[in-house]
Amino acid sequence: MQQYKEITTALTAGDRRALARAISIVENEVPGFDQILLSLPAGNAPILGITGPPGAGKSTLVDALIETYVQQEKKVAVLCVDPSSPFNLGALLGDRIRMSQWYNHPHVFIRSLATRGALGGLHPSIIEITALLQAAGFDHIIVETVGVGQSEVEIAGLADTTIVVVVPEAGDEVQTMKAGLMEIADIFVVNKADRPDADSFLRNLKLMMAPAFALEKNIAILKTVAAHKEGIEALVTAINNHLQTTQHQEKKYWLYTEKVFQLIQKNKMRDISKASLKKDIQFAMQENNFQLYRFTQQYL
C-alpha cells in the first residue's frame, strides 16, 4: 500500500497525474482504494451541481463558468457525468470535447465519468471522487449531471449549491418536473434567453416557484446566454451569495448526513451482486417455494 500513500501525497501536492490515477483506482474499486480515501485530508471546496433536461446548454454554461473562475485565478475541477455505453459502461458523450480549450490549462481539471447504470444521473462513486478533488486543493468543483428528469434529486445530496438549467421552450417539461425541481433548485438558470418568449417564460417560472418562496427558500432565477457569456457574472454572484447564506450551514449537515448514509449503504451492499442474486432467485423459484420476503430475510 506504500504506492497508494505516495499517490495521496502527490495529489494533495497538486500532481494532476496522481489525481487522475487516484480517481481511476477509486472508480474501479482497485483493492486498497479505501486506504487512499482514509488518508485524505479534509477538504472544503464547494461543490456546484449543474442539472436540468438534455439540450438546455449545461456544458456550455459550465464552460462559461470555468472561464470566469480562471479569470479570477481560481482552480476549477469539473466532473462531467455522461450516460453509459451498454457495452463497456464507458461515458458516451465526452463533455471534454466541448471544453477542449481548458483541457491543458494548469488551473483546470476535467474528467468525464459514466453513470454505470446509476439511476440518479450520477456516478456510483461520485462522493469519493469529489473528496479526492477537494483534497487536491481546488477552489471550486463543478458536477454536471446527465439530465434524466426527476431522479436528478440525487445531485441535491452532493452539491452545496444546485443549479437547474432550463430553456424558454421547456414550459411543459418544467411543469412535469416541478415538484422535484422545487425541492432541489437553489438557483434557476433560463439559458438561451435570447430566444423568443424568454421573458414570458421567466415570469411564468417565478409564478410556478412562488410556493417555494412562501417557504422562505430563496431561489434565484436568472437569464443567461451561455454561448455568448451573457449573464455569467450575475450567476457567479448568485452562487457566492447562496454559499454564504445562513441556511447553507443547516443544509451542510443534511448533505453530510446523506453522504454518510450512502457510503454506509454502499459498503453494506458491497458483497451482494445482482448477478448472483438473480441465480439464487432462479434456483429458489424452481423449488416452487419462493416467497419474496422469506427469501429476502436471508440477506438481512
- Strand residues in 187-240 grouped as ranges (E): 187-190, 220-223
Distance CA 82, CA 56 (A): 15
What pLDDT, on the 0 to 100 scale, is given for residue 99? 65
pLDDT of residue 34: 87
Written as nine digits, the cell of 231 is: 449573464
CATH number of the 44-268 domain: 3.40.50.300
Rounded CA gap, 219 and 238, in Å? Answer: 10
Give me the pLDDT at residue 180, please. Answer: 61
Helix-helix angle 198-208:171-184, to 10 degrees: 40
Answer whether residue 246 shows pLDDT above 90.
Answer: no
Q: Distance (Å, rounded) from C-alpha 74 to C-alpha 65?
A: 11
Within 10 A of 29 (CB to CB), how many other CB atoms are there?
Answer: 13
- Residue 139 phi/psi, 5-degree rounding, is -85, -30
The mean pLDDT of the chain is 81
The residue-averaged pLDDT of 110-137 equals: 76
pLDDT at 262: 79
Residues of the chain with CATH 3.40.50.300: 44-268
DSSP 3-state assignment of 31?
coil
Q: Where residue 229 falls among pLDDT bands split at 50, 70, 90?
A: very high
In this structure, the chain runs to a length of 300
